[in-house]
Amino acid sequence: MSSSIRRALLLSFLGLAGKAHAAIPLQACDSPAFATVLHAAPARLEARAVWLDRRLAQWPGMASEGRFRLYHSSGGSIVAAAGAKVQGAAGVLELAVQAGAIPPAAAQRFKYVAPGPVLALNDADLSRIAQLQREQLVLVREDASGTVLAATRLQAAGALDDLYAAAEAIPDLGATPRASATTFTLWAPTAQQAAVCIYDKGTGRARAIHPLAFDATTGAWSAQAAGDLSGRYYKYAVDVVADGSGLVRNLVTDPYSVSLTTDSKRSYIADLDAARLKPQGWDMHRAPDTVRASADMSVYELHVRDFSRDDTSVPVNKRGKYTAFGETHSNGMRHLQALAKAGLTDIHLLPVYDIASVPETGCALPKPAGAASSERQQALVMKTARTDCYNWGYDPYHYNAPEGSYASDPRDGARRIIELREMVMNLHRAGLRVGMDVVYNHTFAAGQKEKSVLDRIVPGYYHRLDAAGAVAQSTCCDNTATENRMMAKLMIDSAVLWARHYRMDSFRFDLMGHQPRAAMERLQAAVDKAAGRSVQLIGEGWNFGEVENGARFVQASQLSLNGSGIGTFSDRARDAARGGGAGDAGEAVIKRQGYINGLVYDANARADKRPRSDLLQAADMIRVGLAGTLRSYPLVNADGVTRKLAEMDYGGQPAGYASQPGETVNYVENHDNQTLYDANALKLPLATSTPERARVQVLGLAINAFSQGVAYFHAGSDILRSKSLDRNSFNSGDWFNRLDWTYRTNHFGTGLPPAPDNAQDWPLFKPLLANPALRPQPQDIAFTRDAFRDLLAIRASSTLFRLRTADEVAQRLRFFNVGPQQEATVIAAHLDGRGYPGAGFAGIRYFINVDKLAHTVTDEAARGMRLRLHPVQAAATAGDKRAAEARFDSTAGSFDIPPRTAVVFVEE
């Protein structure tokens, strides 16, 4: 036994001295229940008081009169009813109202806590508080006779972070197998005891149980088992006090699990550096060296199951699996290879960590059928939505383990590790870097629910709590609290694991604005160090919920991340291009047209008459996106006034928010909301032909391709992907999330989209889905595919589309055809390439004409120049033949731009 384990056993003994704790027996490991109540709680109690540190607590809204007492009970048996005396407590501590100032660090961290008395423990009791945090604690305001005036539990994170600050440095949380012994380490500072159950297989009875020893310095429990237990499975048995339950024994998997068995029932013991877990060539292979800075990234967002589920060129047993990416001659891999050849740099995978919402074996496979606008398809899909094989995966269960439903054998904890690594290696070999979507802002479950992991180990710590102590759910689910020391550590440790052990080249953070900027910056430094290179971070910087406007901390949000180098998705050009907003419903989804689909210049039948100023404003917002949404970029606005983008208004916010181009992620479509094709199906006039609809799609993709910053594309946007108008297909099954790599159909008109998020708009959707004139033909899909590849090639051909700094953008990007007299349906810009490394050309002029008509625009600075069509568009193989109709008159400096066409001219 090591000296550290021996010391921890002694500390554990001392900490529990005087208490009778029967050791957790082996049979507990095989309990059919995930939780066993050892001593039931008499009642539930809100947690309205907040520990600010180990000594101070604040009780918002409470009067200061009376006496304050802290009662404790190891069995969770306290009853503190107003008007009565406290019952069921094992002891009590006196607290005094603090007259002095709160320490600055605590005052800043808990600035959101409403005013109320700040209470302090007596100095003599400070040495006891760590032990008492392992019991039920109830704060009571009493009168002189001891009658309860008010009672509350306390939110513990502030105390635990202060008491166990040393835990942040623990290097080996989880299971660590070595030749001589396997170590298990679990951070559970409020547990009364803990043990690890060892199993030979993913099913069957436990072979051994080892008590864990408590370290009073870190709050971690640990044990060593003899020998290398790699390939075996384990669970923890943890005795904790949980509100409303009492003292419970939770059988729970490891938050630091690196793999699991089927449906995450048991954690898997593995050394990720072991040779047996590495596919052949893993150590030697390298990612493509195509990205030197974030602005070089051209990203294709892809779901593992979507990629191959319907690809008949993939063997049946590999469809929807990690292994499909090894089928180099499949239709899907040929498509990705062609994109890489054209200039795509990255695949971003929707979640591939362990998710809670898909059965890993025996999932339902409904077979919908019905008319183009029928309700039948969605009804069948929704019938099995909770048990089918599909979900986007924003339901994190275990952050550090690969998802098992994508593995060939989810029963074997090794297979998912090996096969995910094979997928990464196969994408790298195809010329594509790999990024993954991570969802550290919430968990699938909290409290004492079966699929709650964190909360059943340290109740009330890992999640962000509201004023009553309930878990906040502004993200959709149970919000995590990455402002708390050990939740931030879990997030950072997890990202490091993926970067180091799976060679992830970048990360996309779901709802990143719910995380502190400081935590994200620490994460950036940690993953860069682990990978030995720059790992790009991008994410959703939306500002909402209980953290909105910096209510709790400086967020990793759009307006707060400038200067960090971390990228956020920009909704400025997205909404201007598409029209309307993500929350539109009813007639607004049709009436609110955007820049590319007819705003003012091609109104649909339901659109209100809109003034030309609306079109001018939309054009300016497109320019904002093309300029990288940079705060400092000066733009001549439609009123003729030059303003920095930060001085332009976007719904009450600055239009420009980024400090550098790499801090902006440009997109017009991703997995959320209707696809671009579907949005255009709603907004374009009904008479618009499918070839013209394809051209409108390309216009949206061109805005992305020409924008400074990261270019982000949704898988299938280049083949007119439709989800049959579904606005939220996260749980819409395979049927509404299909991709066709044979380019025969885009799946528009395959039934009304699922009722939960769409039924209110079915009357609007039904006639559109039933209209065969809105279904593109194979030639429309092929046109979009080829034109998109040309856009990628044009972007890749010159660093002028990928400028590194705000100063370079200001110096080298110039918009013309601006101001009040502009031709508002044409975006025109010049990029100066003189003396710029990798520019390829002395200058570039690009044009995006969204109108149904050709237009002529003039650039006085182009008079007398010799310009020609970009070689990609001039080639006989060009996807968009109409671009070749563009003309440049050197004498006049004028450009004739064909209708609904993106055109690029170059200067040698």
The answer to whether position 49 is within a domain reads: yes
**Contact (Cβ atoms closer than 8 angstroms) between residue 633 and residue 656:** yes
Domain endpoint, select from 109, 144, 163? 163
Give the lowest-confidence range in 6-10, 206-210, 523-527, 872-876: 6-10
* pLDDT at res. 99: 87
- Domain boundary, last residue among 101, 130, 163: 163
Residue 132 in any domain: the answer is yes
The single residue of 135, 437, 540, 859 carrying the catalytic annotation is 540
* Same domain assignment for residues 260 and 154: no
The domain spanning residue 831 has which CATH number? 2.60.40.1180
Q: What is the mean pLDDT of residues 221-237?
A: 98
Cβ burial of 628 (10 Å; 0-12, 13-18, 19+) is buried
Domain assignment present for residue 83? The answer is yes
717, two tokens: 């946007």
359 alpha-carbon distance from chain centroid? 22
Owning domain of residue 237: 167-276
* Chain mean pLDDT for the chain: 96
Confidence band, pLDDT 50/70/90 cuts, at residue 392? very high
Same domain, 261 and 196: yes
| Alpha carbons 818 and 897: distance in angstroms, whole number | 16
- The Cα 356–Cα 401 span in angstroms is 12
pLDDT at 13 (0 to 100): 36
What pLDDT does residue 300 have?
A: 98
Based on the domain organization, do 173 and 222 belong to the same domain? yes
- Within this chain, do residues 178 and 127 fall inside the same structural domain, yes or no? no
For 416-444, the pLDDT digits (tens) are 999 999 999 999 999 999 999 999 999 99
* Closest alpha carbon to 581 in 674, 511, 709: 674
Query: Which residue among 276, 298, 326 closes a domain?
Result: 276
DSSP type of residue 364: B
Query: pTM of the prediction?
Result: 0.96
In the residue annotation, 790 being an active-site residue is answered as no
400-415 as b/e: b if 16+ CB within 10 A: bbbbbbbbeebebbbb
- Pairing label, strands 887-889, 396-402: unpaired
Any domain includes 758: no
Residues 154 and 176 occupy one common structural domain: no
CA 469, CA 481: separation in Å to the nearest integer? 13
The per-residue pLDDT for 583 is 87
- Of 346, 412, 483, 510, the active-site residue reads 510
Element (H, E) at 198: strand 193-199
Tell me the average pLDDT across 69-80: 97
> Which residues contact residue 114 at a Cβ distance below 8 angstroms, ignoring those fewer than 6 apart?
60, 61, 467
pLDDT > 90? residue 901:
yes
Residue 376 pLDDT exceeds 80: yes
* CATH code of residue 155: 2.60.40.1130
DSSP string, 82-106: TTSB-BS-SEEEEEEE--SPPPHHH
Q: Are residues 46 and 155 in the same domain?
A: yes
pLDDT of residue 894: 98
- Percent share of the chain, pLDDT over 70: 98
CATH number of the domain that residue 216 is part of: 2.60.40.10
Residue 211: its pLDDT value, please? 98
A 10 A CB-CB count for 9 gives 18
| pLDDT for res 582 | 86
99 and 53 fall within a common domain:
yes
Model confidence at 7: pLDDT above 70 = no
Q: Are residues 133 and 215 in the same domain?
A: no
Percentage of the chain with pLDDT > 90?
A: 97
pLDDT, one tens digit per residue, over 827-867 is 999 999 999 999 999 999 999 999 999 999 999 999 999 99
Q: Does 763 reside within a domain?
A: no
Kindly state the tokens that stand for 576.
């201007």
Q: Each residue of 315-368: pLDDT tens digit?
A: 999 999 999 999 999 999 999 999 999 999 999 999 999 999 999 999 999 999
Residues 74 and 116 in one domain: yes
Alpha helical stretches, state H, 191-237: none
- Residues 138, 182: one domain? no
Average pLDDT, integer, range 261-287: 97
pLDDT (mean) for 481-509: 98
Number of domains making up the chain? 3
pLDDT for 786 beyond 50: yes
Closest CA to 512 of 546, 553, 558: 558
Question: Do 159 and 184 fall into the same domain?
Answer: no
Is residue 128 included in any domain, yes or no?
A: yes
Please answer whether residues 456 and 529 qualify as being in contact, where contact means their C-beta atoms are separated by less than 8 angstroms.
Answer: no
pLDDT at 908: 87
- Based on the domain organization, do 171 and 159 belong to the same domain? no
pLDDT at 15: 38
- What does the block give as tokens for 254? 């490891």
* 510 carries an active-site annotation: yes
Examine residue 67 and state whether it is found in any structural domain, yes or no. Answer: yes
Compute the average pLDDT of residues 233-262: 98
DSSP-derived 3-state class of residue 346: strand
Quick check: 219 pLDDT over 60? yes
Task: Give, in order, the Cα–Cα distances in Å from 590 to each of 673, 680, 752, 767.
Answer: 14, 9, 17, 13
Examine residue 873 and state whether it is found in any structural domain, yes or no.
yes
